[in-house]
Chains A and B, each alone.
Chain A
Amino acid sequence: MTASQTPPHAARYPAGARAFPHRDLLGIGQLERHEILFLLDEAEQWVALNRQRTKHTDTLAGLTIINAFFENSTRTLLSFEIAGKRLGADVVNMHAATSSVKKGETLIDTAITLNAMRADAIVIRHGSSGATGLIADKVDCPVLNAGDGQHEHPTQALLDALALRHSLRERGAAADDFTGLTITICGDILHSRVARSNLLCLQALGATVRLCAPPALMPAGIEAMGAEVFHDFDAALDGADVVMMLRLQTERMSGQFIPSAREYHHLYGLTAARLEKAGKDALVMHPGPMNRGVEIDSDVADMIDRSIITRQVEMGVAIRMACLEVLTRRSRGVEGWGEAA
């Protein structure tokens, strides 16, 4: 299968590069609904490839992708690395946890250095909101945001949407967007870039999004982004079609936000009994890493018919392949996508 093959819903996009006219992927906030659908549709071919025995193409052969992670990461970094390698690119990981990299000009200098090494795409995770955009301004190649502070984590939202779409299809749903669905996101919304990107993405695809957290972990003014705000988890679950749990990001907390993990679990932990308050057969999602017994109980996380947590991980590789492939089309001179560099 190659990228030039017609994606399943080609008719609903503008032709060529107008289907996705962005050089970088910095956030869901910059995307139109049809651009989100385009990336999801593009990912389908990679889902299929990843399920074959030989999971490799040479689509990006000869290209260099740098994963520059200024913040610790295991799963996202691995997912991007696998995505790049399956596409045939040369993938290099640069580990630079914020603690060891001196702030200041160093961030810009690092960007200029990566640029001078003629990377064909740079994937960045950084602890400060807006940092990936700052780097994107300084480099000549596409930049993919793998998480910037508490701002956005666009590939996570896209992979969540793809995982949800697959699960709904398995259940016989015909639509490929989420119109009419109610999705409850519960956890540390304040510190979560995943919550922000998912809120934007799920709403763009037609879903109603409820956010649930204790007041200290709910960002001010998020109603203005169209979310329904809840502090009572049972009320937030009432009739929900999907429940997405987020972990407590204790590494970002300064001061006390909750009395204890035990008390948090009492109010906001997803237990099997509590899941009954949600809609019939409601799906359970979690971007990981999970803290079992805190925000989610093991028996819920492992429910075969309800939990799609491992599918989220699977879709992550496909989504990142789609993003890397689409964003490098211009430099590869794909027909209709501009000149080769």
Chain B
Amino acid sequence: MKQTRPITITSGRLVTSAGVREGALRMVDGRIAALGDVTAEDGDEIVDARGGLVTPGLVDLGVFAIDKPAFHFGGITRAALMPDQSPALDLPSRVSYIAKSGKPDLWVHPLAAATRGLEGREIAEIALMREAGARGVATGRSWIADSGAMLRLLQYAAMLDMTVVTHAEDAALVGSAVATAGEYATRRGLPSAPAEAEAIAIARDLALAEMAGARLHFRQVTTAAGLDLVRRAKAQGQAVTAGVTPAHFMLSDLATVDFRTFARLSPPLRSETDRQAVRAAIADGTIDVISSGHDPRGPEDKRLPFADAEPGMAGAETLLAMVLSLVLDDVIDLGRAFELVAGKPAQLLDVEAGRLEAGLEADIAIVDPDRPWVIQSAKMAATAGNTPFDGQPTQGRVTALWKGGVAIGG
């Protein structure tokens, strides 16, 4: 489906990386034609934003399932799919199939499995998967424990000019742990690993990436020590970026009380001190990307004892509201909020989207940042309602969404 008629959105507050300005935005042939002091032309479809925010569609870097209703609810028009599928995205044929799977109204950008079967040993056919549409390379849910294999992977990815998305938890330290070591894990008798497992993994991977000259993206950095390492590497000019999901800036390990498996995540929830460090890192720019980590899990994966349950949360629907809460809390401004959920991830994936700029894809949302709603596990659009935010009142909703200039659900 292609855009057949130009659309002009009027009376909006345009959210650009430079800040928020009042104005209009015109979409023609699936692209942003102009924005700012723009007037509709004859024959345009006129959409009155009624003072709402006009924003780029969200680009969700690192989801585990393609879940269109949830993505569209959350204003997500592009999602980078983790290779942890069944089977793993470790063959070009699987990548090319996935790359087309969401079109036209959701673009899925596959992340190629770094190693065959995601087993952390043999490098997969990354170059062929790039040809098939892979927008990056990912180690998957786990860390590559073998330092030699990781170095060779980083060298190979650097040669191909592909970003390596990695999971930062030292595998041997973590073992079968399901919680962060500390008072709460001890009180509940949960197998736990020290939070330092993250910084140890980051330190090694930064050193290897520097040797290889590779671009590295840590999908989730959740501890003060890990963030300090990233901050220092950035200051020294290393090509490194960091992401996080809302769980780690909204919740601490206190949320695992009563063995609530919706709060069973990977990496596990951290201490309150680390949660505050994540918020500070979002504010100072150490964290570049906030993604949903969308991982819907049904009762067969979650209605279990905590340690036996699978990790992950359904996050697509709540991503925007949680990031907007950072704006309300004066952690960041609106322009930066959308850099975190759209601009920067689009840049990392090297796609022509994620910002309000003439010439880019017309992936556009209208957002009412004040609209209140209550997150309800039982009523979610996602294929499963495993949210640790169940029952929480929040605000900020997408009221209209376009992918490539074509309205979704309208």
A interface residues (Cβ-Cβ under 8 A, vs B)? 29, 103-105, 107-108, 126, 128-131, 133-134, 148-152, 193, 196, 219-222, 224-225, 254-255
Contact of A129 (CB < 8 Å), options: B181, B182, B190 = B190
Contact of A133 (CB < 8 Å), options: B176, B185, B259, B303 = B259
B305 part of interface (Cβ distance < 8 Å):
yes
B188 part of interface (Cβ distance < 8 Å):
yes
Q: How far is the CB of B252 from chain A (nearest CB, A)?
A: 13
Which residues of chain B have C-beta atoms less than 8 A from A224's C-beta? 183, 186
Contact bitstring B175-192, A, C-beta under 8 A = 1, else 0:
110000111111111111
Starting from the known contacts A150-B191, A196-B189, A221-B185, 9 additional A-B residue pairs (CB-CB under 8 Å) come to A130-B305, A134-B303, A134-B304, A220-B181, A220-B192, A221-B183, A221-B184, A224-B183, A225-B187
Contact of A105 (CB < 8 Å), options: B191, B300, B307 = B300
In the bound assembly, the distance between CA atoms of A116 and B207 in angstroms comes to 59
Q: How far is the CB of A157 from chain B (nearest CB, A)?
A: 14
Q: Is the CB of B308 within 8 A of A128?
A: yes
In the bound assembly, the distance between CA atoms of A196 and B305 in angstroms comes to 19
In the bound assembly, the distance between CA atoms of A255 and B304 in angstroms comes to 25
Q: Is the CB of A107 within 8 A of B304?
A: yes
The answer to whether residues A129 and B192 also contact, given A104-B304, A149-B307, A255-B175 and a CB cut-off of 8 A, is: no
In the bound assembly, the distance between CA atoms of A14 and B259 in angstroms comes to 31
Q: Is the CB of A103 within 8 A of B187?
A: no
The answer to whether residues A29 and B305 also contact, given A129-B259, A130-B259, A254-B176 and a CB cut-off of 8 A, is: no
Q: Is the CB of B300 within 8 A of A104?
A: yes
In the complex, 6 of the A-B residue pairs with CB atoms within 8 angstroms, ordered by the A residue number, are: A128-B308, A129-B306, A130-B259, A134-B304, A150-B190, A220-B181
In the bound assembly, the distance between CA atoms of A131 and B258 in angstroms comes to 11
Q: How far is the CB of B66 from chain A (nearest CB, A)?
A: 24
B393 part of interface (Cβ distance < 8 Å):
no
B359 part of interface (Cβ distance < 8 Å):
no
Which residues of chain A have C-beta atoms less than 8 A from B186's C-beta? 196, 219-222, 224-225
B194 part of interface (Cβ distance < 8 Å):
yes
Q: Is the CB of B305 within 8 A of A128?
A: yes
Q: How far is the CB of A277 from chain B (nearest CB, A)?
A: 27
Q: How far is the CB of B174 from chain A (nearest CB, A)?
A: 11
Q: How far is the CB of B90 from chain A (nearest CB, A)?
A: 27
The answer to whether residues A130 and B306 also contact, given A152-B189, A220-B182 and a CB cut-off of 8 A, is: yes
Q: Is the CB of B187 within 8 A of A133?
A: no
Q: Is the CB of B305 within 8 A of A107?
A: yes
A104 closest partner in B (C-beta): B300
Interface size on B, residues (CB 8 A): 25
Which residues of chain B have C-beta atoms less than 8 A from A193's C-beta? 189
In the bound assembly, the distance between CA atoms of A222 and B185 in angstroms comes to 10
B409 part of interface (Cβ distance < 8 Å):
no
Smallest CB-CB A-B distances: 10 pairs? A130-B259, A128-B305, A150-B189, A151-B189, A221-B183, A220-B181, A224-B183, A131-B305, A129-B189, A219-B186
Q: How far is the CB of B308 from chain A (nearest CB, A)?
A: 5
Contact of A221 (CB < 8 Å), options: B182, B191, B258 = B182
Which residues of chain A have C-beta atoms less than 8 A from B305's C-beta? 107, 126, 128-131, 134, 148-149
Q: Is the CB of B307 within 8 A of A129?
A: yes
A150 closest partner in B (C-beta): B189
Which residues of chain B have C-beta atoms less than 8 A from A130's C-beta? 188, 258-259, 305-307
B299 part of interface (Cβ distance < 8 Å):
yes
B300-328 contacts to A, CB under 8 A, are 300, 303-308
Q: Is the CB of B187 within 8 A of A196?
A: yes
In the bound assembly, the distance between CA atoms of A149 and B176 in angstroms comes to 14
The answer to whether residues A221 and B181 also contact, given A104-B300, A105-B299, A129-B307 and a CB cut-off of 8 A, is: yes
Contact bitstring B324-359, A, C-beta under 8 A = 1, else 0:
000000000000000000000000000000000000
B305 closest partner in A (C-beta): A128
Q: How far is the CB of B261 from chain A (nearest CB, A)?
A: 9
Which residues of chain A have C-beta atoms less than 8 A from B189's C-beta? 129, 148-152, 193, 196
Which residues of chain A have C-beta atoms less than 8 A from B175's C-beta? 254-255
In the bound assembly, the distance between CA atoms of A56 and B111 in angstroms comes to 68
Which residues of chain A have C-beta atoms less than 8 A from B307's C-beta? 128-130, 149
In the bound assembly, the distance between CA atoms of A103 and B301 in angstroms comes to 10
Q: How far is the CB of A147 from chain B (nearest CB, A)?
A: 10
B154-205 contacts to A, CB under 8 A, are 175-176, 181-192, 194
Q: Is the CB of B304 within 8 A of A103?
A: yes
In the bound assembly, the distance between CA atoms of A126 and B306 in angstroms comes to 12
Which residues of chain B have C-beta atoms less than 8 A from A105's C-beta? 299-300, 303
In the bound assembly, the distance between CA atoms of A269 and B222 in angstroms comes to 41
Which residues of chain B have C-beta atoms less than 8 A from A151's C-beta? 188-190
B190 closest partner in A (C-beta): A129
Q: How far is the CB of B277 from chain A (nearest CB, A)?
A: 18
Which residues of chain B have C-beta atoms less than 8 A from A221's C-beta? 181-186
In the bound assembly, the distance between CA atoms of A196 and B189 in angstroms comes to 8
Q: Is the CB of B187 within 8 A of A29?
A: yes
Q: How far is the CB of B225 from chain A (nearest CB, A)?
A: 15
Contact of B185 (CB < 8 Å), options: A128, A148, A220, A254 = A220
B258 closest partner in A (C-beta): A133
Which residues of chain A have C-beta atoms less than 8 A from B176's C-beta? 254
In the bound assembly, the distance between CA atoms of A224 and B181 in angstroms comes to 12
